[in-house]
Structure 1
């Protein structure tokens, strides 16, 4: 009996140690599952069982037991009954994880949307795309490219793909359960949207990218030398760990923090501004907080990305989710249909001009496509670059909006192409070089 008690005590101690070591990880796993579920159901209109079976069937995440409550419009999740998390939905603001003591009766300010519908063909308006043909397009080659990106569906896991040429829709395909109106979570493609807001403000004469970052907490130390340019280029020199496979700065920010603008702001400097390049979702959310400072009131901040950018180009399906503190989660949480993601690419291909109105200066594109020092030519200003041939068989002037699990908007100016691909797999499972090179080869001018 004495030995039994000792063994039982040792077992309890062991369980306690395991829980202590892993409780934060379990909290983030259940948080991911709950947040993804509520947003997928209420933004993208996905069926909860499908979200469970497909989207959440990923390493560690599939350990979560997640449930969606239709009447309350909320999702809950836990791992083996531990670390229960809840996510709610706020109209116009999207989903958010909430603490246990959260009061659900709270009301929210939401963005004002001017969702006008232009009576011209897509992508510049909302009428059906023109049935256009171009003598310089090899349509057989284009069809092979679209077949390629949807091949090996259990490996590449492509969901949607679309090609615009000279502002005309020339190819489009959707996996079962998706269509031209289905909102897609862009993950880190949202960083490029947030950066575009700064490009618009600069064009309006309200900011300059070389201004010091307006962070009061930095005024008495070396961080005071960090500029908006350093932040846009991920060159702040601040410590940050961007690792989604473990407890890291980024996973704690996304799944534990109510205010996601703070995490990067509180980090120490590990290098001088400009000395190193370090990809950081925390930096983009810090920029979201800085964006908020540019407006007299919260309503103006909420309205700005839509009023001055997304709704102006007719991309009305867009929703950029906010954290509980009301900040746009510019690092990760932008949703839109594949066609509307393509509109953003077309705006860049057209040098910031939309139906005759200049939203940002063409020099902004020069800025965001200039390679950032120490990024090995792969990064500009919240956009990714092919300047060093990361995609070896694709034109080097390609630049792109990239997101987790292979969300992409590619712009190839030399070919007059905008290409969108979304899915649940990244390179090398998704063969981006093959798809892009085949599409580019279809333009034979």
Structure 2
């Protein structure tokens, strides 16, 4: 009987440990995650609260999130969340800045008082056009319909938007039920590629030093002999800072989860991390690096008000991205790693800007050579899969690997990728930009490589222009037009 009693006591202890672990570690993250994701889904993306909760928060996620109670205040545009009355967190919506986490009503009031007034962006819609005669419309429709389809009874793919630009114009787009061309959607880590673009804009406008200079971080420069003071903008963009950082979303105690949902300052948390390798030597993808760059942009901007208008004035306004917002942490720093929203068409404009070598409407927005820099691997990179905040390949790209994901994509393609299956694909040799957005938490539910390859293979290669032949032309609403004189 003693062993039965021991087992019984052991089970009780395990149960108590589980409950304690939930309230100590999981509940704070769960409450913050639920409040933030629901707030953005409702007040930024415009989704019904039921869908925001059941799909954006719960679908294919940790079952313990179902123990979090959420309350939506439509009048005050806030969402609160808690676990059985404990660990309560808030998220508040602010115009032009989306949703931000807060601890209490006093912090909500402070955040609202710090909201900048930003002049509305004039509309600049992308043009639409018919497919080239040599492209099989039925085949393209089949690829898009398949991307929107659910192979099984239980939804797992959840594609919300699929869009194709050819030569700067929309030739095809599909949206899930309740989603339209006017619906802003989260990009998650696509935001990293956008922050690269903002850094490029600052370089073009003479607002920051050379990217190979040490990054301006007060905490590092103020301490004599701090080895982190040698870290450059380039090393952060290429994920080679050498800073310690855990990018494990499944672990509630990992750096990335704590940074995004617990710490009051995402940038400050990332800045505080110690070195674990010599800067520049080791590639280690992490979400801390772009938030350090966010802090650097804040330091370079002079005032808080100027900093909070940087994305709009440097990038969104020139491209006419009316829907775009990048959300901030509670301390007012943009979460440059993860929290941007935009319509599929506005996300596509980012890809089109890079397809056009940083030129838009006849104006150079990015420094000459910036696109080449961003889409080239670091020197001595043995894998060559990452440039500067842009991916250079997709999973399954090794032709020597017997992988069912393998499908041929043009060698010049490059990609912005984000959590839950977000992507922008740019293929210069085809003059294509492909956007796919959704809530896909199981990697096997959607084969991005096959999706991109199937679309790419339907379009002809762009005829090469001899290097010594000048090309006249202008860029109008994102489309390249060449002179016929």
Please, what TM-score do these two structures have when normalized by structure 2? 0.84
Shift of 1:244: 0.6
Asked if residue 235 in structure 1 is aligned to residue 240 in structure 2, the reply is: yes
2:228 matched residue in structure 1:
223
Correspondence for 2:274 among 268, 271, 289: 268
| Further displaced range: 382-391 or 216-225 | 382-391
2:143 matched residue in structure 1:
145
1:416 matched residue in structure 2:
431
Preserved contact between residue 141 and residue 441 of structure 1 (Cα < 8 Å): no
2:457 matched residue in structure 1:
441
Preserved contact between residue 156 and residue 431 of structure 1 (Cα < 8 Å): no
2:79 matched residue in structure 1:
75
Shift of 1:155: 3.1
Preserved contact between residue 200 and residue 359 of structure 1 (Cα < 8 Å): yes
How many Å separate the matches in 2 of 1:88 and 1:160?
Answer: 26
Distance 1:215 1:105, change over 3 A: closer
> Aligned ranges for residues 44-123 of structure 1 at < 5 Å?
44-57=45-58, 58-60=60-62, 61-100=65-104, 102-106=106-110, 107-110=113-116, 112-118=118-124, 122-123=125-126
Preserved contact between residue 342 and residue 409 of structure 1 (Cα < 8 Å): yes
1:173-199 CA distances to partner (integer Å, 9 max, x unpaired)? Answer: 001010000010111111111111111
Give the secondary-structure state (helix, strand or coil) at the position aligned to 1:418. strand
Preserved contact between residue 79 and residue 91 of structure 2 (Cα < 8 Å): yes
Correspondence for 2:210 among 202, 208, 211: 208
Asked if residue 284 in structure 1 is aligned to residue 299 in structure 2, the reply is: no
Correspondence for 2:416 among 387, 390, 401: 401
Preserved contact between residue 111 and residue 302 of structure 1 (Cα < 8 Å): no
2:341 matched residue in structure 1:
335
Shift of 1:205: 2.9
Give the secondary-structure state (helix, strand or coil) at the position aligned to 1:117. coil
Preserved contact between residue 30 and residue 83 of structure 1 (Cα < 8 Å): yes
Asked if residue 346 in structure 1 is aligned to residue 342 in structure 2, the reply is: no
How many Å separate the matches in 1 of 2:38 and 2:382?
Answer: 34
Preserved contact between residue 162 and residue 437 of structure 2 (Cα < 8 Å): yes
2:473 matched residue in structure 1:
none
Distance 1:352 1:169, change over 3 A: same
How many Å separate the matches in 2 of 1:389 and 1:113?
Answer: 44
How many Å separate the matches in 1 of 2:356 and 2:45?
Answer: 29
Distance 1:318 1:11, change over 3 A: same
1:16-61 CA distances to partner (integer Å, 9 max, x unpaired)? Answer: 6444433122210111001111111111111111111222223223
2:170 matched residue in structure 1:
169
Preserved contact between residue 114 and residue 307 of structure 1 (Cα < 8 Å): no
Preserved contact between residue 386 and residue 398 of structure 1 (Cα < 8 Å): yes
1:189-227 CA distances to partner (integer Å, 9 max, x unpaired)? Answer: 111111111111112233211011122333422222211
Number of residue-to-residue matches in the alignment:
432
| Further displaced range: 338-347 or 368-377 | 368-377
Q: CA RMSD in A?
A: 2.4
Give the secondary-structure state (helix, strand or coil) at the position aligned to 1:405. helix
Shift of 1:15: 6.5
Distance 1:178 1:313, change over 3 A: same
Distance 1:216 1:308, change over 3 A: closer
Distance 1:183 1:285, change over 3 A: same
Which runs of 5 or more residues in structure 2 are unaligned? Answer: 1-7, 399-405, 462-485
| Further displaced range: 433-442 or 18-27 | 18-27
1:260-296 CA distances to partner (integer Å, 9 max, x unpaired)? Answer: 1111211111110111111111111111010111112
Shift of 1:80: 4.3
Give the secondary-structure state (helix, strand or coil) at the position aligned to 1:177. coil
| Further displaced range: 266-275 or 78-87 | 78-87
Give the secondary-structure state (helix, strand or coil) at the position aligned to 1:102. helix
| Further displaced range: 196-205 or 280-289 | 196-205
2:388 matched residue in structure 1:
381
How many Å separate the matches in 2 of 1:340 and 1:240?
Answer: 31
How many Å separate the matches in 2 of 1:212 and 1:349?
Answer: 29
1:38 matched residue in structure 2:
39
